[in-house]
Structure 1
Amino acid sequence: MNAKGTVHKYGDDVNTDVIIPARYLNTASHAELAAHCMEDIDKDYVKNVKPGDVVVAGKNFGCGSSREHAPIALKASGASCVIAKTFARIFYRNSINIGFPILECPKAAEEINPGDSVAVDFDTGLITDETTGRTYQAQPYPEFLQKIIKSGGLMESIKG
């Protein structure tokens, strides 16, 4: 499983209310959530994000309310993954539950710049900044979590 795309970069403590503002939580439509993704922190995100793009951020990404809407909005917007210094634990689990890969890699989060082209190998945890040629090693998911993500989420992975 791999990702390749352009970087959209954010700072520390990006909370779930910024990823998808609470005023849009009355919809179950993934497309509607995607249409408002990141609008309170980056009004141009939805205009600029392309399928496969990568979100890079600082520490504590996804802090705040424990809603699955945040990783759903990112995934539905076209983002292929998030690379951050650290994640809020509930965001981490919600991302796995919906089959949205995220990687903790402090050095990559610091050094990768907005607009860089990045490739990610989820099986090995290797992150390559194709713009600079630098590589970074994130801890890959254990095999059972890779299965959940590759299946499209927890519920899909347990269907027989």
Structure 2
Amino acid sequence: MSKKNIKGKVYILGNNINTDQILTAEYMKINPATQEGYQELGSLAMSGLSENELSFIDKSTGKSYYNIIVAGKNFGCGSSREHAPIALGASGIKAVIAESFARIFFRNCISTGEILPVQVSQNLSKLLKTGDTLTIQASDNRIILPDNKNIIDFKDLGDLVQIVNAGGLFNYARQINKIPHTQNNLLVH
């Protein structure tokens, strides 16, 4: 999955979206290392949101209607479960754009290689609505809003983009020959 350009529909959320909203604790027993477990986690992404929120998952496909989440401050706060970014990635989310991230959630996004965490200096949820389409240009650190005129710069992720592009920390380490390429039972997404 290339992270140079990510184009897709956005799902708007507010501040302090926690890992229990992303994936409730009851689903922590699901093993994301199996194809079935990975798909099941994807179908459960954002299961802790209020019933008043717009539907996130298409029940017929088990995937999100959206490709990008746009949120405010402190996205991914709460417990340090790596199942949360895995569930988002499995649902079809390619990136989360937020004013700030909980530190551990941010690291889990990079380590798993599931989603690109994009940090902006302003709350884009005030400029967008759920269903709008935008483009993230990771190589240029910018977001092109739906009107194709407004461009928002975001914090440079540097070499971290390469880790996400590789599919996570272990795949990246194999790619740069820091750990051997061996056949194993891990599922590579």
Provide TM-score, normalisation by structure 2. 0.78
Alpha-carbon distance in 1 for matches of 2:69, 2:7: 11
Match 2:128 to one of 87, 106, 112:
112
Aligned-pair CA distance for 1:22: 0.6
Aligned to 1:5: 8
Alpha-carbon distance in 2 for matches of 1:110, 1:71: 24
Aligned to 1:152: 167
Aligned-pair CA distance for 1:43: 6.6
1:5 match: secondary structure: strand
Match 1:32 to one of 33, 37, 40:
40
More displaced 10-residue stretch of structure 1: 31-40 or 76-85: 31-40
Aligned to 1:44: 55
1:106 match: secondary structure: coil
Aligned-pair CA distance for 1:132: 6.4
Alpha-carbon distance in 2 for matches of 1:148, 1:110: 30
Aligned-pair CA distance for 1:106: 3.3
Match 1:139 to one of 151, 155, 178:
155
Q: Does 1:75 align with 2:83?
A: no
Provide TM-score, normalisation by structure 1. 0.92
Aligned-pair CA distance for 1:39: 2.0
Match 2:137 to one of 96, 103, 121:
121
Aligned-pair CA distance for 1:116: 1.1
Alpha-carbon distance in 2 for matches of 1:58, 1:149: 22
Aligned-pair CA distance for 1:145: 1.2
Q: Once the two structures are aligned, what percentage of the paired residues are identical?
A: 35
1:150 match: secondary structure: helix
> Higher Cα Rg: structure 1 or 2?
2
Contact 2:10 2:131 in 1 (8 A): yes
2:156 match: secondary structure: coil
2:57 match: secondary structure: helix
Ranges of 4+ aligned residues in structure 1 off by more than 3 Å: none
